[in-house]
Structure 1
Amino acid sequence: MSIRHGLLALLEHGPRYGSQLRTEFESRTGATWPLNVGQVYTTLSRLERDGMVAPDGEDDAGHALYAITEEGRDELKSWYEAPVDRTSPARDELAIKLAMAVGAPGVDIRAVIQSQRHHTVKAMQDYTRLKAQALTAAPANRDEVAWLLVLEQLIFQAEAEARWLDHCESRLARLAETATATPAPSPTRATRRKLPR
């Protein structure tokens, strides 16, 4: 998640101070990815160092304001125009857990899958309920529409995870049917696969 670009996007609407940026970021994303105010100020310091924001005086309460610079606007424009890079996917704890559980002594991988499926379906139901509430309120402003988009992404992600868990269970069932008494050979350098770049 790019906190850096999120803060630049908020600053494009005018000068803001750190805790104001934190509140607006969380409002726009429905607090799905909470920020701590120290993280906001650290990011602002780096943005200032990189010439993307500049101090812009203080508000009436004495809060130090920051404003986006032209260099910051250029960076933000580039971020909006560039696709999110998927060639180096982030580590996914669930994928790692299942990969390690396959063949691990004393681990019932089907139970691991069932437990995760239960959790994933519950999360999907919770997100769907939140979406229904958001739609009932008829999103009228930018933050409400942004929150709705985040919720829908979470729903689609949970649906995909549930389908993937079904796939994992099917694959393991087929593997159990065809398993022989001889252990499978370890993958050699030639048989390992890398994601396409």
Structure 2
Amino acid sequence: MSVRQSLLAILDRGDCYGSQLRAEYERRTGARVNVGQVYTTLERLERDGLVESGGVDDEARVLWRPTEAGRAEARSWLSAASLPEGRDEVALKIALAVTLPGADVDAILSAQRAAVREALAEVAGEVADAVPAAIVRMARRARLEADLRWLDEVEELTAAAEPFALLDERPRRGRPVRSGG
């Protein structure tokens, strides 16, 4: 989840100062965020014209509020579907290991499975005291359970995989040797 868009969505409800935003984020999601990240994000949002200073409160804390562009971005983000982004580091590591002579793919899968089971045990031990935290906990549990099923499938798939050597044919492009000067 984007901290940036989350903070904008919270600010759309009313002006807040940095520590208040952090507390609201944690209260609403059950996830922790570093207060330094909140302030850095606010600075970037201000730079990008999505928030502005709303003055100060009675204790001289800077209040932040979204600009119209910030409100539009928050509402757009909330209404759009979200899919996992970026590289799947675990899948890439296993895919690479399958191709490398000497890599112990079974040990990698075993270690990953143990880590997922440990994370599942932690999630099972958590108590959600509010609906938002329960939603986050349930999503984490479902993803971890799916990870275990995926690891079982990968284990079957990799059983017959054979590592392979580097290609003899090299790409024509490459970084030239630096001169010694």
TM-score by length of 2: 0.81
- Superposed displacement of residue 184, structure 1: 8.8
User: Which residue matches 1:161?
Assistant: 147
Partner of 2:178: none
Three-state SS of the structure 1 residue aligned to 2:52 is strand
Equivalence for 1:109 = 105
Unaligned runs of 5+ in 2: 168-181
Secondary structure of 1:54's aligned partner: strand
How far residue 26 of structure 1 moved from its aligned partner, in angstroms, is 2.4
What are the Cα deviations for residues 23-68 of structure 1, in whole angstroms up to 9, with x where unaligned?
221232323xx43223212221222233322211112221111112
**1:73-152 to 2 correspondences below 5 Å:** 73-85=71-83, 89-130=85-126, 133-134=127-128, 139=129, 144-152=130-138
Deviations 1:70-120 (A, max 9, x none): 32222111111222256xx31122112101211323321111101111110
Percent identity of paired positions between Structure 1 and Structure 2:
46
Moved over 4 A (4+): 182-186
Q: How does 1:8-27 map to 2 (within 5 A)?
A: 8-27=8-27
Secondary structure (helix, strand or coil) at the match of 1:55 reads strand
Structure 2 SS opposite 1:77: helix
The TM-score normalised by the length of structure 1 is 0.75
For structure 1, list consecutive stretches of 5 or more residues without a partner in the other structure: 187-197
1:42 alignment partner, one of 30, 40, 43? 40
Structure 2 partner of 1:191: none
- Report the Cα offset of residue 16 of structure 1: 0.8
Give, as a single letter, the amino acid of the residue that structure 2 aligns with 1:12. Answer: D
Alignment of 1:58-77 (within 5 A): 58-77=56-75
Measured after TM superposition, the shift of residue 183 of structure 1 is 5.6
Shift of 1:185: 9.9
Q: Distance in 2 between matches of 1:81 and 1:38?
A: 28
